[in-house]
Structure 1
């Protein structure tokens, strides 16, 4: 059953305050990309929680696992078991219940994980009363920082868990909301090594992109492309304030992310191929100095034209390249692309200049046969 949530669009009304959550989602995606990318998944933004990583069965029919994240930063302090912490945990437990009752179909082994993630140290502390001290009970502390970045609620000392339980219960009683105590077993906490200000966060994301995809020569543009996918769904209102995982407008599909990564990688390989053979190719196709000096823009624009299914002439070139791999017949790139241009012109009546056909052939060739290009 779908449900209305009075706070369903609260994050949409404060988009400027969501940058940390958005950046954090991309940080986690890039950090675990190798483990995530081969699974059927989608990411929800500002939907039930700050963001969700939702994993489906191979047939895509059922949800198997959901990792829900409440991402918070805290300036100039550390997280402790106080009223603000209790409020966040209470909300997360409610999210766990909402995920369980969401009408999206789930597999028989469905599970979810509720993670409180922050770039601020978390200090969970229990101090015994004087009477308890007399009985030999000592203080207990659980820290999450760079030395211990992940914890399950169930693995924390019992006295600390009891303190959290009481603090959250008191908050729920005070606010007259239900205390979903059974969801505590799904609660996790995570510290991430992520800066506080947005410009430094962007620097970290760019560095992470460079490490995970070292052949991408412009990691900043790659990061911006992926963040734009998140912004697109982040800015969509939950219609009628109803939150439902079946709402495809609040998703970034894994296939869309994979496609974006593939586009990034293909463009970078095309840039590199051009740089390596620009002298010969420029001479062969009479490429002007202006285009030579702005080749990245020319190549990016050509990829956009090739993606446009309504652009018949570029689709003809793309289809021809897909069906004909001339790399088996030529020993140099300039001879191979000269053959492509000549035969494409001979077989089709295209209202394009030779240089346009060349760049279209170049981009399509890397897209279809660029696996071995480094």
Structure 2
């Protein structure tokens, strides 16, 4: 079942307000990257909820589980069980019902979680009335902060659960919307150790990238690349205001994320190889000083050309390098790449300058044989 929503096309209009949600999604991804990346998964951005982590069966045909997030920051000091909190929870329960009814194929064992997440302390309290106090009821406070960062709804004290239930029920009655009470069992509330300032959030993401993926040599570039993938998806309008998990334009595939990180690694290895051997390579291929000083841009542009399947000449170079590893035949990179350029020109009709063929061969070589480079 697909769902029409008045807010379905919040993409472009909500970009300014979505920075926290976007950064929060990347934080969660990086924090548990080893586990998440070991599964078949995709992310949805501003689609049903702020963001979704969707996990598929190994055959990729059915969805096994969805972790849906409503990520909110608060200008005040603490979240409490007030009208705003009730409105958010009511919306999340509706999302749970929509996910269950979404027409995307699911496994028989399909489950979903609905997580309210914030970087502000969450104080869930119950204060007994006079009569209740006489009967021995005491005030109860359930805090979510750095000491207790996650609480499934079913593990929250009963009196507080009842208060949440009543507040959400009253909101739904007042707003004339359906109260999807059965979805409460899928609800969980989470505090996240994440700064309020956007620049500090970026610094935290870069630090997390360093810790979780230490092999990525330029964590700042990797974070920015992943955030750009998120921005591209969140800006897409839901077609006809229809929200469906089958809409691939609102997805970031797990393989895209892995590929993005691999691209960063490959580019960095190429920069490093060039810098280490720039003197002899520049002499061999008569690389102008202007290109030497802007080698990073030249290498990035070349990788883009190699990715373009319609660019026949660069595809010829890429395929030749893939099929021919000259690294065991030459003792110097200058002689090896000269041999590549000569062989490619001899075997193919290519209308590129030697310097262009060289840079294409350099990038393709690192892409296919870069795992041996330090």
Distance 2:329 2:135 in 1: 86
Distance 2:283 2:3 in 1: 64
Secondary structure, in 3 states, of the residue corresponding to 2:245? coil
Distance 2:347 2:11 in 1: 55
Offset at residue 129 of structure 1 (A): 2.0
With 118-127 and 1-10 compared, the bigger mean Cα shift is at: 1-10
Secondary structure, in 3 states, of the residue corresponding to 1:141? strand
Offset at residue 236 of structure 1 (A): 1.5
Q: Deviations over 1:189-213 (max 9, x none)?
A: 1111212122222222222223333
Residue 135 of structure 2 is aligned to residue 129 of structure 1: no
Secondary structure, in 3 states, of the residue corresponding to 2:14? helix
Offset at residue 104 of structure 1 (A): 0.7
Offset at residue 124 of structure 1 (A): 0.7
Question: Is residue 303–residue 363 contact of structure 2 (8 Å, CA) maintained in 1?
Answer: yes
Offset at residue 11 of structure 1 (A): 4.9
Residue 211 of structure 2 is aligned to residue 211 of structure 1: yes
Distance 2:241 2:96 in 1: 18
Residue 290 of structure 2 is aligned to residue 318 of structure 1: no
Residue 248 of structure 2 is aligned to residue 248 of structure 1: yes
Unaligned runs of 5+ in 1: none
Residue 189 of structure 2 is aligned to residue 189 of structure 1: yes
Correspondence 1:133-144 to 2 at 5 A: 133-144=133-144
Q: Deviations over 1:90-120 (max 9, x none)?
A: 1000100010011111000000000001111
Distance 1:279 1:10 in 2: 52
Secondary structure, in 3 states, of the residue corresponding to 1:108? strand
Q: Deviations over 1:314-333 (max 9, x none)?
A: 11110000001111222332
Change (3 A) 1:217 1:371: closer
Q: Deviations over 1:219-243 (max 9, x none)?
A: 3332222122112221121222211
What is the aligned partner in structure 1 of residue 110 from structure 2? 110
Distance 2:7 2:337 in 1: 57
Correspondence 1:164-313 to 2 at 5 A: 164-313=164-313
With 328-337 and 227-236 compared, the bigger mean Cα shift is at: 328-337
With 361-370 and 210-219 compared, the bigger mean Cα shift is at: 210-219
RMSD: 1.5
Distance 1:311 1:186 in 2: 49
Question: Is residue 10–residue 237 contact of structure 2 (8 Å, CA) maintained in 1?
Answer: no
What is the aligned partner in structure 2 of residue 80 from structure 1? 80
What is the aligned partner in structure 2 of residue 147 from structure 1? 147
Q: Deviations over 1:173-193 (max 9, x none)?
A: 111111111111100111112
What is the aligned partner in structure 1 of residue 95 from structure 2? 95
Distance 1:103 1:351 in 2: 51
Offset at residue 172 of structure 1 (A): 0.9
With 209-218 and 274-283 compared, the bigger mean Cα shift is at: 209-218
For normalisation by structure 2, the TM-score amounts to 0.96
Distance 2:10 2:127 in 1: 37
What is the aligned partner in structure 2 of residue 331 from structure 1? 331
Question: Is residue 169–residue 179 contact of structure 2 (8 Å, CA) maintained in 1?
Answer: yes
Offset at residue 300 of structure 1 (A): 0.5
With 176-185 and 11-20 compared, the bigger mean Cα shift is at: 11-20
Offset at residue 296 of structure 1 (A): 0.9
For normalisation by structure 1, the TM-score amounts to 0.96
What is the aligned partner in structure 1 of residue 163 from structure 2? 163
Question: Is residue 215–residue 268 contact of structure 1 (8 Å, CA) maintained in 2?
Answer: no
Unaligned runs of 5+ in 2: none
Q: Deviations over 1:261-296 (max 9, x none)?
A: 111111111111222222332233222222222111
Distance 1:358 1:12 in 2: 42
Secondary structure, in 3 states, of the residue corresponding to 2:138? coil
Q: Deviations over 1:8-52 (max 9, x none)?
A: 223542221111111111111122211111211111111110111
Offset at residue 215 of structure 1 (A): 4.2
Secondary structure, in 3 states, of the residue corresponding to 2:30? helix
